Copies of this chain bind each other. A is one copy, B any other.
Amino acid sequence: MITSHNGPQPADFTDVRATNLAVVLRFVRENAPCSRADIAASTGLNKATVSSLVADLIDRRLLRETGLTEHRVGRPATMLVLDGSPYAAIGIEVNVDYITAVAVDLKGEELLNWRRSFPGGTSGPGQAVVAMAALARRVVSRMTKEARQVLGLTVAVPGLVDVDGIVRVAPNLGWRDADLAGDLTKALRDPGFPVLVDNDANLAALAEHRFGPHRNAANLVYVTGEVGVGAGIVLDGRLRRGGQGYSGEIGHLELDPAGPVCRCGRRGCLEAVAGVGAILAHTAPDASPSDLELEIDEVVRRARNEDREVLGLLENLGRHLGRGMAAVANLLNPEVVILGGYYVPLAPWLVGCAEEEMYGRVLAPGGGGCRLEVSTLGYGAAALGAAARVLDSVDSGRLPAQR
Contact = CB atoms under 8 A, between A and B. Distances in A.
Contacts of A8: 22-23, 26-27, 43
B254 A361 contact: yes
A396 B3 contact: yes
Interface in A209-268: 217-219, 231, 233, 235-238, 240-258, 264, 266
Contact of A16 (B12, B23, B255, B398): B12
Contacts of A330: 246, 249-250, 252-253
A233 B332 CA distance: 9
A326 B254 CA distance: 9
A364 interface: yes
Interface string A369-390: 1100000000000000000000
A397 interface: yes
A27 B10 CA distance: 11
A361 to B, nearest CB: 7
Contacts of A246: 330, 333, 363-364, 368
A15 B11 contact: yes
A327 interface: yes
Contacts of A73: none
A9 interface: yes
A2 interface: yes
A242 B333 CA distance: 5
A179 to B, nearest CB: 15
A160 B20 contact: no
Contacts of A323: 254
Interface size on A, as a range, is 35 or more
Contacts of A242: 219, 235, 332-334, 368
Contacts of A16: 2, 11-13, 15-16
A8 B216 CA distance: 12
A25 to B, nearest CB: 9
B231 A331 contact: yes
Interface in A317-336: 323, 326-328, 330-335
A233 B236 CA distance: 13
A267 B3 CA distance: 43
Contacts of A362: 249
A10 B1 contact: no
A247 B333 contact: yes
A324 to B, nearest CB: 9
Contacts of A20: 10-11
A169 interface: yes
B217 A243 contact: yes
9 cross-chain pairs, A with B, having the tightest CB-CB distances, nearest first: A242-B333, A246-B364, A2-B15, A243-B335, A11-B19, A249-B330, A246-B333, A247-B333, A246-B368
19 contacts: A1-B15, A1-B398, A2-B16, A3-B3, A5-B5, A10-B45, A11-B15, A217-B243, A235-B240, A243-B333, A243-B370, A247-B331, A249-B331, A250-B330, A251-B363, A253-B330, A254-B326, A264-B363, A328-B331
